């Protein structure tokens, strides 16, 4: 029996949605199985069923040939099934060790910290991870937190590991470390289900790939027997362009002028050490660099969410440094934040509330006293259509949207110029395609380009160098709190870009 998991005829309804429609899926021992599909295709739902978070309406689950019922994650873990969700579920104020043993009965009343600490360190080391079990979780990078989540499962002897979009929070270097560890786990005979939107990752790591579309499995194939365009076509149901032909518009006046901007990070360390950057109207400026070099602080200062310690940010000659977020919005700055779930969605409010949480106070949606719901609903309908947000109704709660549809919702809110029906002067887009399927990514790229044509200046933060080169008019490299180089796509080769990202100045930073 080589099959670790076999799901047969899984059906799962949510109000108004058939999330899983008679799904068959198998996972073999020693296999890395990629699970692909558009936003809302039903991937997370299927895995939540295998992990015992949801009960299927019908269908059967077999683990190593044995028919079983899983009614909670606790059951799943006992059966050797573990899942790492996109949003980590660790307790920041506890140590790595405490997080790992939390809920484990086996450790008994008297905890032998020294022994367990040694076991965890050894386990981590066997996968090439260097961690200190006594470090606090709040001190860890996203990559390290993910390692702890995996260690928690491995420490409980999980043989079936589910990773839901694990690379969307990782830097390139962290991805490489993760992939090596996963390959090692597969060699040990574990089975790994790997959800992703990135086709290159499917080819880098998986043995087989399954594509889901609208709740159904479209195909399962050996990865070596398919290619990117075939998979893309299965996912979206039409051919997909992998590169965008971008007509260059002539940039005009400045949308934003940033001078000698300095700011501290949350730990009180100087994270922006004098940023100088100009984005013109009609221009897309991509900012690339290793995550954690000040990108987050930069966008937060521009959006008014973080204090500037020194320097200026000019929009139409007005210095917005240290202005309130409301004032900055009124001046025409749209902000697409990183990690929408954490910062910019109210999960328990409806879609329409989330769409209008800023605009409801402004004309034409309010006359200053009363809210015009009719107008709001009409506009909301239009946005849902234009941004292709898939959901049963406008009064669905935001938390029941799939990850990618949430991102579309934020784009709709931030880009549609709801306030005063104007297009934004400046769009600050921080990692706007993270977690999006290829169809939606294409949509975001097109939308940003369209806004740049209409006159918006766009500051586009990305971890994906190729993406930045493709859609930007100029690309700035950020390192250690400064812009260390700025160039036009095609002017500089990849090797030089790599050097700049490591902090070596090879082209002038003007």
Question: What are the residues binding Mg ion (CB under 5 A)?
Answer: 44, 403
Residue 232, contacted partner among Mg ion, ligand ATP, none, CB below 5-8 A by kind: none
Following DSSP, what letter does each residue of 79-140 receive, concatenated?
TTEEEE-SS----TTSBHHHHHHTT-STT-SS--HHHHHHHHHHHHHHTT----TTSBGGGS
Judged by CB under 6 A, which stretch of 39-47, 411-419, 441-449, 501-509 contacts ligand ATP?
A: 39-47
Round to whole Å and give the CA distance between 278 and 316: 12
Shortest gap between Cβ of 485 and ligand ATP (angstroms)? 34
Cβ atoms of 194 and 32 within 8 Å: the answer is yes
Round to whole Å and give the CA distance between 156 and 101: 9
Q: Which of 10, 33, 34, 43 binds ligand ATP (CB under 6 A)?
A: 43
Judged by CB under 6 A, which stretch of 41-49, 90-98, 176-184, 319-327 contacts ligand ATP?
A: 41-49
Q: What angle do CA 155, 157, 163 make, to 5 degrees?
A: 85
Q: Which of 390, 423, 470, 506 binds ligand ATP (CB under 6 A)?
A: 390
Shortest gap between Cβ of 72 and Mg ion (angstroms)? 20
Shortest gap between Cβ of 195 and ligand ATP (angstroms)? 7
Sequence-separated (6 or more) residues with CB below 8 Å from residue 295: 287, 289, 430, 461, 478
Residue 159 found at the interface with ligand ATP (CB under 6 A): no
Between residues 217 and 419, which has the closer beta carbon with respect to ligand ATP? Answer: 217
Q: Which of 80, 304, 404, 424 binds ligand ATP (CB under 6 A)?
A: 404
- The CA–CA distances, whole Å, from 225 to 94, 179, 238, 401, 403 equal 46, 21, 20, 33, 29
Sequence-separated (6 or more) residues with CB below 8 Å from residue 129: 147, 151, 177, 181
Residue 41 found at the interface with ligand ATP (CB under 6 A): yes
Between residues 76 and 458, which has the closer beta carbon with respect to ligand ATP? Answer: 76
Between residues 49 and 468, which has the closer beta carbon with respect to ligand ATP? Answer: 49
Residue 228 found at the interface with ligand ATP (CB under 6 A): no
Write phi, then psi, for 59 (nearest 5 degrees).
115, 165
Between residues 46 and 418, which has the closer beta carbon with respect to ligand ATP? Answer: 46
Q: Cβ-closest residue to Mg ion? A: 44
HSE, CB side, 13 Å, CA atoms: give it for residue 469: 11
| Contact residues for ligand ATP, defined by CB under 6 A | 14, 17, 19, 37, 39-45, 390-391, 400-405, 437
């Amino acid at each position: 029996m080589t099959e670790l998991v076999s799901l047969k005829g899984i059906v799962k309804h949510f109000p108004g949605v058939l999330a899983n429609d008679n799904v068959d899926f198998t996972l073999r021992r020693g296999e890395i199985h990629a699970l692909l599909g558009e936003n809302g295709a039903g991937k997370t739902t299927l895995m939540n069923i295998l992990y015992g978070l949801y009960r299927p309406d019908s269908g059967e689950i077999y683990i190593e040939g044995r028919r079983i019922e899983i009614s909670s994650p606790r059951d799943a873990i006992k059966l050797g099934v573990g899942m790492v969700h996109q949003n980590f579920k660790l307790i920041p104020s506890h140590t790595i060790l405490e997080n790992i043993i939390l809920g484990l009965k086996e450790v008994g009343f008297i905890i032998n910290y020294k022994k367990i600490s040694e076991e965890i360190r050894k386990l981590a080391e066997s996968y090439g991870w260097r961690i200190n079990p006594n470090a606090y979780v709040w001190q860890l990078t996203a990559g390290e937190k993910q390692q702890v989540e995996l260690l928690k499962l491995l420490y409980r002897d999980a043989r079936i590991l589910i990773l839901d979009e694990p690379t969307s929070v990782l830097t390139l270097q962290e991805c490489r470390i993760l992939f090596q560890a996963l390959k090692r786990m597969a060699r040990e005979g574990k089975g790994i289900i790997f959800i992703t939107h990135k086709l290159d990752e499917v080819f880098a790591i998986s043995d087989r790939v399954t594509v889901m579309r609208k709740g159904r499995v479209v195909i399962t194939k050996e990865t070596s027997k398919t290619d990117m365009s075939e998979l893309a076509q299965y996912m979206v149901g039409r051919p997909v362009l992998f590169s965008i032909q971008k007509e260059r518009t002539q940039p005009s006046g400045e949308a934003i002028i940033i001078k000698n901007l300095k700011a501290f990070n949350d730990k009180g360390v100087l994270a922006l050490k004098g940023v100088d950057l100009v984005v013109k109207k009609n221009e897309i400026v991509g900012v690339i660099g290793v995550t954690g070099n000040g990108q987050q602080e930069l966008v937060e200062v521009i959006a008014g969410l973080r204090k500037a310690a020194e320097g200026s940010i000019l929009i139409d000659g007005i210095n917005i440094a240290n202005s309130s977020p409301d004032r900055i919005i009124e001046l025409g700055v749209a902000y697409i934040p990183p990690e929408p779930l954490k910062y910019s969605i109210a999960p328990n409010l409806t879609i329409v509330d989330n769409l209008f949480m800023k605009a409801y106070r402004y004309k034409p949606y309010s006359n200053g006293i009363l809210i015009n719901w009719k107008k709001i609903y009409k506009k909301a309908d239009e946005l849902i259509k234009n941004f292709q947000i898939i959901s049963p109704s406008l009064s669905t709660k935001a938390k029941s949207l799939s990850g990618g549809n949430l991102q579309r919702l934020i784009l709709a809110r931030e880009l549609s110029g709801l306030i005063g029906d104007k297009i934004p002067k400046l769009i600050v887009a921080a990692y706007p395609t993270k977690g999006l399927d290829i169809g939606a990514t294409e949509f975001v790229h097109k939308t940003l380009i369209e806004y740049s044509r209409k006159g918006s200046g766009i500051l586009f933060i990305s971890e994906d160098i190729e993406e930045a080169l493709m859609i930007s008019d100029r690309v700035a490299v950020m390192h250690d709190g400064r812009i260390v180089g700025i160039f036009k796509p095609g002017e500089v080769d990849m090797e030089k870009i790599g050097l700049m990202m490591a902090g070596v100045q090879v082209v002038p930073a003007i």
